[in-house]
Amino acid sequence: MHHTINALTDRILAGEQIAESEAFSLCDVTGTGLYALFSAASRIKERFVGNKVFLCSIINAKSGRCPENCSFCAQSAHHTTAAPVYPLVDEEKIVSCAKEAEQNGSSCYGIITSGTSIGTGDELERICRAVRRIRRETGITPSCSLGIIDYATATALKEAGVETYHHNLETSRSFFPSVCTTHDYEQDVETVRVAKRAGLNVCCGGIFGLGENVRQRVELALTLRELAVDSIPLNFLNPIEGTRLAGARNITPMECLHAIALFRFILPDRKISVCGGREQNLRDLQSWMFLAGASGTMVGNYLTTTGRAPEQDWQMLRDLELDVASCCE
């Protein structure tokens, strides 16, 4: 297996793309082979993305009452959880949180709303006004995650100054029916295509530990490669009481790192960030995510769970002697 890893690494470093069958062959790496895979993924990341770390932050701008039944989500109306429920926050709150995110060193700030899609009247206008102010008053790059959108909405966001649209596919097409049955996978794929057609960058990834297998993680990565997404957030399940996956087993730290490395091999020149669930799932191996091929992470709180203090992440990066990318990089 070490020979296979080295051969694939050399080809990727030379600018080639590995085949689907070769990507699936990396699912079988175990034991000490994983360390070789992590080292190779780190080389690939350095070659194509560099060693600077990209930081992002989010605001849960509208929480709860989502009609979708995603098995992991604390905001689904199909679940009874302690997650907060509130309508879209005001413009001032969105802008002030962007300023705080910038102070914490983030280069990207995501405005995220619960629900299948955003209302195209007052809600969209409020978000667009906030984005224009963020552009004027900060140096941070605004992004939005407003669910399934059409071309007109994507264009309005682009004209307001949104640079990136975030819309996760969550998992592979083959496993998606086990996660969500209230909308079709193709609707999510079409949203990615619509955002790209409107000239937006697309940030699109998923969440691991839902019950999918390693091959289905690779299947997701291959779909993202086909869609030519610009950046990939990787999340790990943090089981929430009241959801369908409340009793799910967290995947192991080495499984998490394996998944990160697989994505780096398949998507060598893309920004790959490790976001929700890293504290609970990677535990003492959190800093290893950069060795395994990650090029970024989320700082601050997540949608319905708290992250660790930004200073702890900054200390981790100082200890690793890694520089943080600025907003313009």
Q: Is 203 annotated as a binding residue?
A: yes
In terms of DSSP bridges, do strands 54-62 and 164-166 run parallel, antiparallel, or are they unpaired? unpaired
Residue 219 to residues 99, 170, 246, Cα–Cα distance (Å): 37, 12, 25
DSSP conformational letter for 267: S
CB-CB neighbours of 48 under 10 Å: 16
Q: Is 162 exposed, middle or buried (0-12, 13-18, 19+ CB in 10 A)?
A: buried
Q: Is 70 annotated as a binding residue?
A: yes
All residues at 6 or more sequence positions from 66 whose CB lies less than 8 Å from its CB, including other chains: 73, 75, 76, 77, 114, 115, 116
57 strand-pairing partners: 109
Q: Is 66 annotated as a binding residue?
A: yes
Phi, psi of 235 (to 5 degrees): -115, 155
Euclidean distance between CA atoms 149 and 194, whole angstroms: 8
Euclidean distance between CA atoms 50 and 150, whole angstroms: 34
Euclidean distance between CA atoms 205 and 293, whole angstroms: 15
Q: Which of 261, 315, 272, 262 is nearest to 296 (CA)?
A: 272
Residue ranges of the alpha helices (H) in 14-84?
Answer: 20-25, 33-48
Q: Is 108 annotated as a binding residue?
A: no
Task: Say if residues 139 and 87 touch (Cβ distance below 8 Å).
Answer: no
Q: Both tokens of residue 38?
A: 């992590």
H or E segment at 208? strand 206-208
Q: Which residues are annotated as a binding site for [2Fe-2S] cluster?
A: 143, 203
Binding site per annotation, positions = 66, 70, 73, 143, 203
Instruction: Give binding residues for [4Fe-4S] cluster as ranges.
Output: 66, 70, 73
